[in-house]
Amino acid sequence: MSYLEHFEFAREPFSNAPDARFYFDSEQHLQAQRRLRFAVDSNKGLAVVVGGIGTGKTTLARRMLDQLGEDRYQSSLLIMVHSGVTPEWLLSHIALQMGVASPAADRLVILRQLYERLLEIDAQGRRAVILIDEAQMLQTRELMEEFRGLLNLEIPGRKLLNILFFGLPELEDNLRLDPPLAQRVAVRCQITPFTAQNTATYIWHRLQVAGGRRMVFDDDAIAAVHQYSRGVPRLINTLCDNCLFDAALLDRKQIDEQIVIQAAQALDLSGDDSAPLDDVDLDRGLEQIESMLDRLEMKL
């Protein structure tokens, strides 16, 4: 029997699949949205969002794209899936996304085409925005220089293109490959894992969105979820999903700490300590999380 019926949910509350219904506006996500919106609306040019794995950057990027209605914005989300992108390829793609019908082969021609298109967009009273997720994959100086060049497309008084980077903390290193570009970062947001309070609120939020009418995790169970997930939303989802499944198997309507511990152990999330992520070395913590996620993906 599916745990959905056992807990009377309309849908899975902790699926890691992107689902706008489950979007959770934590305070820091809300702040980030506001700042990014401000950056775009006032043509600041470049804004950067950095955060650890599973902290909700992609969700935030999607959310931003949703908010940039086409009546006022020409927006596009570019998701980097590998690091071998060339500057020409990148430029051509951005031109296409901004509405250049047939980008030329020549880089300079593309720039001209893009400039003219951006002028059109501006004349329509709209703003051009490029959102780039997984921007830590932009690992060459050439690419960074290309972005700097794009940010220079402007008319007197304002820039014609806004770029929002979303990526892991090493994105900061990439930006530093081209110091003038690093200097152009007008808005910077950092997404950190949830606090214990946020974790509890997040769990309740998702249960409700799934049609749950009561908090099926007791207080100790939530504390344990936070401890094992270290407040990383994606890990919270995975762990809670497993807890619900286990509880349904045990015919339990309430999830206690013991169920969380057993699920965490089964997922090999128990790790070597219970200290929250904030207190550990960031690089080491990221490595740990990444390896956990790898293991999980293999298991699933």
Which residues of the shown chain bind another protein in the complex (CB under 8 A)?
Answer: 1-2, 5, 20-21, 23, 63, 65-67, 69-71, 74-82, 85, 89-90, 93, 96-97, 249, 251
Of 110 and 225, nearer to another protein (C-beta) is 110
Of 23 and 220, nearer to another protein (C-beta) is 23
Question: Up-side HSE of residue 133: CA atoms within 13 Å toward CB?
Answer: 17
Q: Tell me whether residue 119 is exposed, middle or buried, using C-beta atoms within 10 angstroms of its C-beta: 0 to 12, 13 to 18, 19 or more.
A: middle
Going from the C-alpha of 76 to that of each of 43, 132, 162, 164, 188, the distances in angstroms are 16, 8, 11, 10, 20
Q: Measured between alpha carbons, how far is 286 from 248 in angstroms, rounded to an integer?
A: 32
Please, what is the minimum distance in Å from the beta carbon of residue 30 to another protein?
13
Does residue 206 sit in helix, strand or coil? helix
Please, what is the minimum distance in Å from the beta carbon of residue 173 to another protein?
20
**DSSP H/E element including 34:** helix 27-41
Please, what is the minimum distance in Å from the beta carbon of residue 246 to another protein?
13
Does residue 117 sit in helix, strand or coil? helix
AA identity, residue 30:
L
Of 90 and 118, nearer to another protein (C-beta) is 90
Of 86 and 274, nearer to another protein (C-beta) is 86
Of 84 and 157, nearer to another protein (C-beta) is 84
Q: Which two tokens stand for residue 17?
A: 């699949």
Please, what is the minimum distance in Å from the beta carbon of residue 81 to another protein?
5
Of 78 and 292, nearer to another protein (C-beta) is 78
Please, what is the minimum distance in Å from the beta carbon of residue 182 to another protein?
22
Of 249 and 282, nearer to another protein (C-beta) is 249
Please, what is the minimum distance in Å from the beta carbon of residue 271 to another protein?
32
Q: Measured between alpha carbons, how far is 83 from 95 in angstroms, rounded to an integer?
A: 19
Please, what is the minimum distance in Å from the beta carbon of residue 27 to another protein?
17
Q: Which two tokens stand for residue 22?
A: 């489950």
Does residue 127 sit in helix, strand or coil? strand
Q: How many CB atoms are closer than 10 A to CB 278?
A: 12
Tell me which residue of 216, 263, 272 sits closest to 243, measured CA to CA: 263
